[in-house]
Amino acid sequence: MEELKELLEEKYNKYNNRSFIDSDPICIPHMFFRKENIEISSFLTATLAWGNRKSIINNSRKLMTLLDNDPIDFVMNAREKDYKVLNSFYHRTFCGIDALYFLRSLSNIYRIHGGLEQLFSNEFRRKGNVKDCLIRFVEVFFELEHPLRTEKHMADVRKGASAKRLNMFLRWMIRKDNKGVDFGLWPKIPSSGLFIPLDIHSGNVARNLGLLKRRQNDWKAVEELTSALRRFDTDDPVKYDFALFGMGVFEK
């Protein structure tokens, strides 16, 4: 256990620094300074975070350009004709019709529910569990009339999804360790409550290290791995996402 913790801490410190930003999708929200722009760009970038990392970054940057590099202004002030710029957007199977609904839903969240932070923080105050926050978020996100196809772009933990991209988004928003990568903008939710953003890279490394036995990358695996990582750091278990992901991607 001590040797394993030593390894995880070493890799966490190796990858959790500002040099990590440029090659990671988190570079997109780091383009912004206003809190709401960081939140919205983080959420949209995390949504696109599957496939080739270079493609993720390029297409996320294109999406920000379509929003005039001021996402909160678009969300709050876009008129019907303004949404037409999204028709040409696509990233893999996420296309214009999906982008259009995502922006409409974000507008609803900021106008009716007080914004992304308030939506998540209120649910955490009520339930005290990030899993419940994820469930509530999906309910609110799709409370408007929407294309059925768009639902596949939002993970639902009630159906056993690992919710990698949502958990990554929450890591970006909540963790604050002053190393310059994660933003730590939402103080009402503690880092101790976060779940690991499980993907094929972190999952494979976790299994090789004996931290994860479940073979599927689903929500049960997320809970199992997060529970194992809490043994090494109760207050901030998902900091080891840097270690697992870094070893999986950069140290094959």
Cα→Cα distances 41→5, 38, 85, 136, 206, Å: 33, 5, 17, 21, 29
Decide if pLDDT at 193 tops 90. Answer: yes
Q: What is the pLDDT of residues 83-137, one digit of tens each?
A: 999 999 999 999 999 999 999 999 999 999 999 999 999 999 999 999 999 999 9
Provide the pLDDT confidence category of residue 250 given band limits of 50, 70 and 90. confident
**For residue 131, how far is the Cα from the chain centroid?**
14
What pLDDT is recorded for position 180? 94
Q: Are 189 and 238 in contact (CB under 8 A)?
A: no
Q: Using the Cα atoms of residue 166, residue 168, residue 172 and residue 176 in order, give the sign of their dihedral.
A: positive
Beta bridge partners of 90: 95
| pLDDT the model gives residue 171 | 98
| Residues forming a β-bridge with 26 | none
> Is residue 196 within 8 Å of 12, Cβ to Cβ?
no
Do 42 and 31 form a contact (C-beta atoms < 8 A)? no
- Residue 252 has a pLDDT of 63
For 175-186, write each residue's pLDDT tens digit.
999 999 999 999
Query: For 154-172, what is the mean pLDDT?
Result: 97
- Alpha carbon distances (Å) from 247 to 22, 34, 148: 18, 32, 37
Question: pTM for the complete prediction?
Answer: 0.96
> pLDDT over 70 for what percent of the chain?
100
Tell me, what DSSP letter sits at residue 184?
-
d(CA 191, CA 174): 6
Q: Cα dihedral sign for 191, 209, 52, 216?
A: negative
Cα–Cα distance for residue pair 85/68, rounded to 1 Å: 10
The pLDDT assigned to 251 comes to 83
Section 23-36 average pLDDT = 97
Name the helix (H) or strand (E) containing 91. Answer: strand 90-91
pLDDT at site 174: 98
- Main-chain phi, psi angles of 183, to 5 degrees: -90, -35
Helices and strands per DSSP (H, E), number in the chain: 11, 2
